[in-house]
Amino acid sequence: MQSKQRGVFSFPMVRSWLIVVVCIVASGLAAFVWMMHLQAHAMTLSEYPTTLNPQGMVLDRSGHIWVSEPGCTMNPLCQTAQLGVIGEYSVADGQKIHDFAEPAGSLFSSPAFLALDQNENIWFTEPNSDAIGEFMPATNSWKQWNTSRGAVPYGLLFDEHGNLWFSEIKGNKIGFLNPTTHTIVENALPSSNAQPAGLAKTPDGTIWFTEHAQPQIGSFQPTSSGVLSQTTITEYTVTARPDAIAADQTGALWYSEGDAGSIGEFFPATGGQASFKVTGCTGASCPRSFIAGIVVDSSGKIWFDDTLQNTLGVFDPHTGGLGNLKIEHVHASPREGLVVDDQNNIWVTEWGANLLAELPGGKLTLVNTVQTGPVSSHWYFADGRVGQGFREYLTIANLSSQPCSATVHYFYTLDGQTVNQQKSIVVQVPAASRVTEPVNRDLALDASNVQGASVSSIVSTDPSSGCTGVMVERPLYASHFHGVSSGGDVLGLTHLSSTYYFADIPTGQGIFTSLTAFNPQTTSTNLTISYYSQGRVVQSQSLLLGAMMRGTLDPTALNLPAHVAASVTATQEIMVERSSYYVNTNGVSGAAEVIGSQRLGRDWLFAEGYTGTGSIENLTIANLDPTQQPADVTITLVSKTGSSQSFPITLTHQSQIVWSVNANNTFSGSSPEVSAEVQSSGGAIIVQREIYYRYQHTAGGQTLSANGVTDVMGQMGPDNKMSYSFAEGYTNLHYQEWLTLQNPTAHTEIIYITLLNGYGRSYIQSVMMVGKSRSTIDITALVQQNLIKSGDDFPAYEVSMSVVTQNSGDSFVAERPLYWNTETTPFVTQGSSDIPGYPGD
């Protein structure tokens, strides 16, 4: 980076998870298998004896746990009806206070699941008696009300008005009971054979239920009469058959997904959903599994149990962390009874062992399951410069848990000389960390040096050493070059090519553009650059490039139109970059660098974009398809509001258009923050995005202003790209860093951002994105709040990122805008760099 100064700010979190105290039932289906056991049983779990096969639980206001003990021989339905027990236990020590047996000689049988009314009377379902029961502890009295024969009432809860709602798993109905009038109403579901099971209530009072036999969940607004028409019951398709369900106070629903080995999350506000894989075993050889209860604690962690595997599990949606505890009893068979008390202690019923178990809050270690972003063993950079007002860095990120040794090979030529020099150094990158390597220091040419050098670089690792690869970017800053004090950043290439394409080579007034080619091969190569405008080749250039050499071409000297497209072809694989310096262009001065695309495409995505005051955004699109067919192009703009608009254009062969996003980003619901997708149904195209900006943003008491230009090659069609890596990033004084995400799919995705700084500290943040949306994350805020400690120096502010989604089939696009202005430091530059993430090869 440039001058690094210490500064600490305070920012709000992007996402928080709040308290949840709802625990509801599930009929059971096959569940998941954990990969490892993290805690010894004796270290964490306390167990207390019960009387008859404990199942459902509810927690009262006095710190007592009430447990249904049906004494059943089969779950969820007993083979024969028998009297059961409702037990009362102390949260303080887990000891039994009292057993209350159902009255003998009555029609009561096998209490299944419990709910507590406002007077702390216990209500319960009786699947075997087709009845709803009420137990009044103060008087040890019992009452019972019958449902339809064969209904099999199952889960139950109270609405905001004190009325009781219950599911009828065999009757395929949602039931209602008014505790005052004892009126029972039974409402048929729209779907036949839905088998409603678990119930939950969101903070707005909406009641939700799972459908045991269908991959669906449903909802309804409770009525005072208990009557629901089928049109007032809404059903939503989910990814697997849901069992247990719970709601958090953000309004999200959580449910187990049975033998899919996952748990689901549903967002009522948008209809979006996400699924989190929580099994380490797939296929027919996996042990049988059975997810039962589910509950969310006050920190937002999701707890659930596995009947057949005898495990208690937890998932942290904020970090993607997973943990479990193996219950040692062979026949523990934890059931739907799962609650969390006000101290975040977890209580679970061991049905087969006649035990009530307690896991103290925070005693279960979580293992981070969020995947790291992709890396590579080789990175190539064609351009670079040190001395004479230039500062160059290589930022190297090691995303793995093992240290890496990276070799940097420099190929450079001193100004005024023709002899190419080489130098290699070894950089040690600690595990889960990043290093900023100063190229000026390595080549002993400070920015103040009157002599400069042009540099190309290769960064490599040896996979046989145990290091699978690293992530590398190259920030480059210039002071008073063509009168411009700015800079840029590029993501290196991991593979070379003999063909490169550029949608835009700008050479208008006040613009200085060069093309740099680097030949890392051991033999020389010939390359040809063709420039296109208005359906024809308007100019061309050739270059003989020696082995292990770099060369520079000046298209500005060709008297080209202000904007042209270009293709580069070589007789062997090389690398080509374009750098441009803008002097008072569209009212700003700055620098931008872009690496050519190695192929054309028919789907290009841009997560970032801004058309607010002081910013001019253009999409430059060129049709260079060798088949010479026209390109029928559709440009779709997506605002942060979720509104979108599509615009059709047609491009003939070898033509280019500079398309104004500002002029078209005026549709209903549009916002200055805008993402774009450019698709062609005909010829293959190449697309870049330029933004001329006047940036100003205040955060943490610091106002940063910067002017400049960014130029970004689009991300070619998501193609199930589920992860990205970023090596560069800086969040100290004079810098503001962002992450822009684009979800081009139609469904909701949960995206995990893992930050790693120069001290090896890490932080994970999750972001929910609905389909066809964009989101902007304040990375400076996350770093300042979560990775900085008192007394830290600049390595704490140097940050690399992994950005991933864990759901199979999901895809998204990620860009990292970074703004700076070092006007109060000795080396003064201002500007921005914008990098699409590395999606892997």
Inter-residue contact 677 to 638 (CB < 8 Å): yes
Q: What is the DSSP letter of 394?
A: E
* 77 pLDDT above the threshold of 90: no
What confidence score (pLDDT) does residue 320 get?
Answer: 87
* Mean pLDDT, residues 424-451 taken together: 97
Peptide bond into 76 cis (omega under 30): yes
User: Which of 276, 316, 324 is CA-nearest to residue 35?
Assistant: 324
Q: What are the φ/ψ torsions at residue 232 (nearest 5 degrees)?
A: -95, 0
Q: How far apart are CA 542 and CA 558, in angstroms?
A: 13
Q: Report the largest interatomic distance among the alpha carbons of the chain, rounded to a whole angstrom.
A: 107
Q: Please, which residues have CB within 8 angstroms of residue 37's CB and are 6 or more apart in sequence?
A: 311, 324, 325, 326
Overall size of the chain counted in residues = 841
Q: What is the pLDDT of residue 220?
A: 98
> Hey, what amino acid is at 392?
E
Beta bridge partners of 723: 804
Burial label, 143 (beta-carbon count in 10 A; 0-12, 13-18, 19+): middle
* pLDDT tens-digit readout, 23-41: 333 322 222 222 222 333 3
Give the contacts of 190 (CB within 8 A, at least 6 positions apart): 230, 233, 235
Given a contact cutoff of 8 angstroms between Cβ atoms, the answer to whether 323 and 314 are in contact is yes
**535/651 Cα distance (integer angstroms):** 9
pTM for this predicted structure: 0.83
In this prediction, residue 81 carries a pLDDT of 63
How many H helices and E strands in the chain? 4, 63
d(CA 134, CA 118): 13
Q: What is the Cα–Cα distance from 828 to 650, expressed in whole angstroms?
A: 44
The arithmetic mean of pLDDT across residues 672-685, rounded, is 96
pLDDT at 20 over 70: no
Residue 13 pLDDT exceeds 90: no
The larger pLDDT score, comparing residue 52 to residue 428, is at: 428
Instruction: Kindly list the structural domains of the chain, giving each domain's residue range(s) and its CATH number in brackets, ordered by start.
Output: 46-290 (2.130.10.10), 490-836 (no CATH)
Task: Give CA–CA dist 114/118, Å, rounded.
Answer: 14
Catalogue the E-assigned strands of 596-734.
603-606, 616-623, 631-639, 644-651, 655-660, 674-680, 685-699, 702-713, 715-716, 723-726
User: Which residues pair with residue 741 across a beta bridge?
Assistant: 775, 814
In degrees to the nearest 10, what's the CA dihedral of 255, 260, 266, 272? 180
pLDDT of residue 256: 86
The number of beta carbons lying within 10 Å of the beta carbon of residue 640 is 17
Please give the pLDDT value at position 285: 75
514 pLDDT band, cuts 50/70/90, is very high
Digit-coded pLDDT (tens) for 527-578: 999 999 999 999 999 999 999 999 999 999 999 999 999 999 999 999 999 9
The Cα–Cα gap between 828 and 578 comes to 24
Give the pLDDT of residue 197.
Answer: 94
Which pair of structure tokens corresponds to residue 233?
């019951």
Instruction: Report whether 688 contacts 605 (CB < 8 A).
Output: no
Task: Compute the distance between CA of residue 697 and CA of residue 147 in angstroms, rounded to an integer.
Answer: 63
Q: What is the pLDDT of residues 764-793, one digit of tens each?
A: 999 988 889 999 999 999 999 999 999 999
Report how far apart, in Å, the C-alpha atoms of 728 and of each of 89, 229, 645, 840 are: 55, 57, 33, 16
| pLDDT tens-place string over residues 627-636 | 999 999 999 9
Which pLDDT belongs to residue 9? 26
pLDDT attached to residue 280:
61
Q: What value does the mean pLDDT take over residues 62-71? A: 93
The stretch 802-829 carries a mean pLDDT of 92
As given in the structure block, the two tokens for residue 434 are: 């990043």
Average pLDDT of the chain is 90
Whole-angstrom distance between the N-terminal and C-terminal Cα of the chain?
A: 27
Q: 717 in helix, strand or coil?
A: coil
Structural element, H or E, at residue 41: helix 41-44
Q: What's at 41, amino acid-wise?
A: H
8 Å CB contact between 590 and 675: no
**What average pLDDT does range 386-405 have in this prediction?**
96
**Dihedral of CA 659/661/663/668: which sign?**
positive
Per-residue pLDDT band for 449 (boundaries 50, 70, 90) equals: very high
Residue 791 in tokens: 């007394």
| pLDDT tens-digit series, residues 580-627 | 999 999 999 999 999 999 999 999 999 999 999 999 999 999 999 999
